[in-house]
Homo-oligomer: A and B are copies of this chain.
Amino acid sequence: MDVQTYMLGVGKQARAASRRVAKADTDAKNRALTAMAQAIEREAKRLLEANARDLDAAKKKKLDAAAIDRLALTAKTIESMADGLLQIAKLPDPVGEIIGLKYRPSGIQVGQMRVPLGVIGIIYESRPNVTADAAGLCLKSGNAAILRGGSEAMHSNQAIAACVHEGLKSVGLPEAAVQVIETTDRAAVGELITMRDYVDVIVPRGGKELIERLLRESRIPMIKHLHGVCHVYIDDKADIEKAIRIADNAKTQRLGTCNTMETLLVAKGIAQKVLPPLAKIYLYKGIELRGDEAARRIVPKMKPATEEDWRTEYLAAILSVRVVDGLDQAIEHIATYGSQHTDAIITEDITRARRFLAEVDSSSVMVNVSTRFADGYEYGLGAEIGISTDKLHARGPVGLEGLTSLKWVVLGDGHIRT
């Protein structure tokens, strides 16, 4: 069977299944999630065996250590996959909520009902735990899912899918509600992102190369994450102790996450006070500093920053530092070089805080908080399918609500328009 025919079949089954899950009741969905978690715990040994096959192949292909680390399942990651599903079972069901139902002068009642999007295509790279997470989030939000994992994780993903299917079957829901694509042919992605009749939204979870391919080729709306060039701006009215604590945490708590600060902006009025102690912390923690001229006059150990640095998401032990005149230049810098992900101001001045919140056009804007908080769990979404840097539909951390939309509900008693 060719890939196109295979994918068309997957799409048609997903569409049919989506109507079944859309009307599944909360209890059935929660029982299915619980059964999935139980199957994953019970089959831990089988999951580890399947994962070992993937790991063997990966080593033979000489994948780098980081990729192998992402691919590996352990007793602990398996337990946290199962836990994740149980957590999703505990979240409120977003489907069917009716908001704002009001009478209009014509006598009709108009409101909006939260409904599933339909069929969600998820394209992800090596981490196999995404298979369980994404399946759980799509099911709870009443959507069918088509999952396309990395070819290097094929056996692991299939083994997890078997547990997911067991959970669906246990409550009488169709297995096609969550389908894991069974071919490693790259053409399958090409089909998935153009089957407009069968797929309502694409959620890519992968690197820049994947996103750029999808931006060129996808004919289906996406909820996507481009990159995170996050800023902390230390205003000259900042509390120095808070500024140091947050700027330290935003960069060093974890280096490789999208909400990690990549550029530190410091107002010139406070730079002399705040940069030396901060530089000491960063250098002690092994962070390479790249500064503009003004910053390097204060901390000569900094390397010179280039234009390219301001645009770079390092995801590594590197930080660029710029001294700015004040709030206006900070906002301008973020508008020019930022990625509209997460940006924070450190200040005690409420007028500047208000301006920063209003004028910085990023998915998360923060006052006196570390950028590391930009995360579905920290925001109270319970779980997240990803972080969106798009402007339409869902911005920032995307949880169950981001996988739904609102349709209009109109009630009357024989009302006609005149």
Complex: A344 Cα to B415 Cα, angstroms: 12
Q: Hey, what's the 0/1 contact readout for A272-285 against B, CB within 8 Å counting as 1? A: 00000000000000
Q: Is the CB of A408 within 8 A of B397?
A: yes
Give the contact stretch, choosing among A175-183, A262-270, A288-296, A386-394: A386-394
Cβ of A409 < 8 Å from any Cβ of B? Answer: yes
Q: Is the CB of B373 within 8 A of A417?
A: yes
CB contact under 8 A between A407 and B368, given known A200-B391, A357-B113, A378-B108 = no
Complex: A363 Cα to B115 Cα, angstroms: 10
Cβ of A77 < 8 Å from any Cβ of B? Answer: no
Contact of A415 among B196, B363, B373 (CB under 8 A): B373
Cβ of A23 < 8 Å from any Cβ of B? Answer: yes
Question: Which of chain B's residues have a CB closer than 8 A to the CB of A418?
Answer: 253
CB contact under 8 A between A23 and B416, given known A106-B373, A219-B215 = no
Q: Is the CB of A110 within 8 A of B379?
A: yes
Q: Is the CB of A239 within 8 A of B366?
A: no
Give the contact stretch, choosing among A36-44, A48-56, A242-250: A242-250
Complex: A411 Cα to B246 Cα, angstroms: 13
Q: Is the CB of B102 within 8 A of A370?
A: no
CB contact under 8 A between A407 and B365, given known A201-B391, A249-B416 = yes
Cβ of A413 < 8 Å from any Cβ of B? Answer: yes
Total chain A interface residues with beta-carbon distance under 8 A: 72
Cβ of A96 < 8 Å from any Cβ of B? Answer: yes
Q: Is the CB of A379 within 8 A of B408?
A: yes
Q: How many copies does the complex hold?
A: 2
Q: Is the CB of A408 within 8 A of B374?
A: yes
Q: Is the CB of B245 within 8 A of A416?
A: yes
Cβ of A367 < 8 Å from any Cβ of B? Answer: yes
Highest count of chain B CB atoms <10 Å: which of A115, A221, A367, A409: A115
Contact of A392 among B368, B372, B393 (CB under 8 A): B393
Question: Which of chain B's residues have a CB closer than 8 A to the CB of A361?
Answer: 19, 22, 115, 118, 407
Question: Which of chain B's residues have a CB closer than 8 A to the CB of A200?
Answer: 391-392
Pairs across A and B, CB under 8 Å, 8 listed: A96-B358, A102-B380, A241-B414, A242-B414, A364-B410, A368-B411, A395-B408, A397-B408
Given contacts A22-B359, A368-B411, A392-B393, 16 further A-B contacts (CB under 8 A): A104-B378, A117-B392, A201-B391, A201-B392, A221-B390, A248-B416, A253-B416, A344-B410, A364-B408, A372-B417, A373-B410, A373-B412, A374-B410, A391-B405, A395-B407, A397-B408
